[in-house]
Structure 1
């Protein structure tokens, strides 16, 4: 699980002028574009955006480590400028904007799969020892440490999420262990089934791979929001696509499109090993932690809590 609980900062997220001074940015036209558990400010004059999360978590340092690894490997992903820096009880990182983003372009399942294949193919040969591990359940529970002081989530609702995490912990642990065993066998020079390696093997994962975390820039699609990235079982990067079909009402064709572009039945394996449920729990915890932000988020949190509790969605999920 995530090392150490999140600490809710007081009084407020870092001021724009403080962020600008810390990172040497031009504050002209700067604005807050997301006021949630991950507080995001855009500095258009410097072509930089900052991400702040409550202090007391290792997440930003892990994100920075993965970003450096992906930069060295040439994977098209967000590039860190500086940080994490502790500011007013928050940990803040600064990231370069992707050049010439097409705001109307949306990554389809084939694009997501192609990015996953490149990411996994580049990093799957790395020795997993010493690499930051992807930990979606720990990240989800850490979100609840933010939700509790906000006072909008009942003990019964917190119990639903914690029981789900307990139920899914062996599911995630088994997937990680399969990846570790394959990595160990390959490292020893043992004969390894390539089909198993393609879907169960380990690599650096994005950890939250859906269309909202990919932007289409001047040089093509780029992975952004690496907050959950780390080493783990490859099929987990297909879990959001499976969850979007299962809970958001996306067409089944998305699964075939993803697997076809990836070159292996990644979504099938994610379904088989219930990794879509792992991702859904992380996503639900995030939504619950941010439910006070709007009426729509509150409604979505209630919907997801019912889904996690019963295994059935009364209606399609909407927010990402």
Structure 2
């Protein structure tokens, strides 16, 4: 991995440098690139080119495996007729640029259709019914990603990193015990409303980086947690449960799985919590985790 990229982390400036280099390789115009999201990856839209560009955090071996898996899953989902967004295979893929990996995806123009929780529930039901693909998928394990984030943490208080490290250590054994008791199947791994797009009247499930084999209850956690953390009306959650046919909050091990998911959400935010709204939100989440306050409102960023 490029040492400078590792030290700097994924910032808008460093991601943009990788974008420009990769677009030059692919002969794409990038002068009107629009940054859609900066988190585990940087996501840019190039509407004029009909392309979305994903800039990964690094080009390290484990990141390369994850990105290659994401491409393979997208192609497989499309071969199954599942409503997915595919890679732009007419362009070079897995481009190395500025110590990062860059991939190119189909651009979905904005739509007047607003995907809802019922759409998410139905897409998850269809996804969970698919057979496993003809290539190996990893077992669900969010801890390596969280440990990497903590090891590379910068610009946040050391005591916060230490607290999160201890919390991860405490939760890991309980997580593995719960996972071992649940039947395993195909899961999206990061199933929330933000990973839905509309193409006309059709709703698409996007972002296949976390696709794995594990307890399908994991895919319901973001919606269940949103009731307490993000003020999702209970009636909306109940409708989601009716659409899918299951309520994860009533399942064995829910509290342990929820704890791990919230640690993942907080370490994700930590990567960009050096200043501004992200720093304020990170401080709020840390306070609620320290106090074990399960109902403290968080804010989506």
Q: Is the TM-score greater than 0.5? A: yes
- Within 5 Å, which residues of 2 pair with 1:4-19? 7-8=6-7, 12-13=14-15, 14-19=17-22
CA distance in 2, matches of 1:246, 1:92: 36
- Correspondence for 1:198: none
Which of the residues 236, 240, 245 maps onto 1:263? Answer: 245
Which of the residues 134, 140, 148 maps onto 1:134? Answer: 140
1:29 is paired with a residue of what secondary structure? Answer: coil
Gaps of 5+ in 1: 1-5, 180-200
- Correspondence for 1:92: 102
Instruction: Note the C-alpha offset of 1:28.
Output: 5.2
Gaps of 5+ in 2: none
CA distance in 1, matches of 2:290, 2:198: 36
Instruction: Note the C-alpha offset of 1:229.
Output: 2.0
- Tell me which moved more, 225-234 or 264-273: 264-273
Instruction: Note the C-alpha offset of 1:219.
Output: 4.6
Which of the residues 101, 110, 134 maps onto 1:101? Answer: 110
Residues 8 and 54 of structure 1 are in contact (CA less than 8 Å); yes or no, is this contact kept in structure 2?
Answer: no
2:48 is paired with a residue of what secondary structure? Answer: coil
CA distance in 2, matches of 1:47, 1:202: 37
Check if 1:76 corresponds to 2:76: no
Moved over 6 A (4+): none
**Residues 135 and 121 of structure 1: CA distance in aligned 2, closer, same or farther (over 3 Å):** same
Instruction: Note the C-alpha offset of 1:276.
Output: 2.2
- Correspondence for 1:112: 120
**Residues 118 and 278 of structure 1: CA distance in aligned 2, closer, same or farther (over 3 Å):** same
CA distance in 2, matches of 1:249, 1:54: 31
Instruction: Note the C-alpha offset of 1:270.
Output: 7.3
- Correspondence for 1:32: 35
Instruction: Note the C-alpha offset of 1:89.
Output: 0.3
2:49 is paired with a residue of what secondary structure? Answer: coil
Instruction: Note the C-alpha offset of 1:273.
Output: 4.9
* TM-score calculated relative to the size of structure 2: 0.84
**Residues 314 and 256 of structure 1: CA distance in aligned 2, closer, same or farther (over 3 Å):** closer
Instruction: Note the C-alpha offset of 1:43.
Output: 1.2
Check if 1:159 corresponds to 2:162: yes
**Residues 254 and 233 of structure 1: CA distance in aligned 2, closer, same or farther (over 3 Å):** same
- Correspondence for 2:190: 208
Cα deviations by residue, 1:154-183 (Å, 9 ceiling, x for unpaired): 22101121122122212332343234xxxx
1:80 is paired with a residue of what secondary structure? Answer: coil
CA distance in 1, matches of 2:258, 2:252: 6
Check if 1:59 corresponds to 2:62: no
CA distance in 2, matches of 1:289, 1:316: 20
- Correspondence for 2:297: 316
**Residues 268 and 93 of structure 1: CA distance in aligned 2, closer, same or farther (over 3 Å):** farther
Instruction: Note the C-alpha offset of 1:19.
Output: 2.2
- Correspondence for 1:143: 149
CA distance in 2, matches of 1:216, 1:111: 10
- Within 5 Å, which residues of 2 pair with 1:171-186? 171-179=174-182
CA distance in 2, matches of 1:67, 1:8: 31
Alignment RMSD (CA, Å):
2.6
Residues 171 and 273 of structure 1 are in contact (CA less than 8 Å); yes or no, is this contact kept in structure 2?
Answer: no
Which of the residues 236, 253, 257 maps onto 1:254? Answer: 236
Instruction: Note the C-alpha offset of 1:275.
Output: 1.9
Check if 1:239 corresponds to 2:221: yes
Instruction: Note the C-alpha offset of 1:92.
Output: 1.1
Residues 18 and 98 of structure 2 are in contact (CA less than 8 Å); yes or no, is this contact kept in structure 1?
Answer: no
**Residues 44 and 145 of structure 1: CA distance in aligned 2, closer, same or farther (over 3 Å):** farther
1:81 is paired with a residue of what secondary structure? Answer: coil
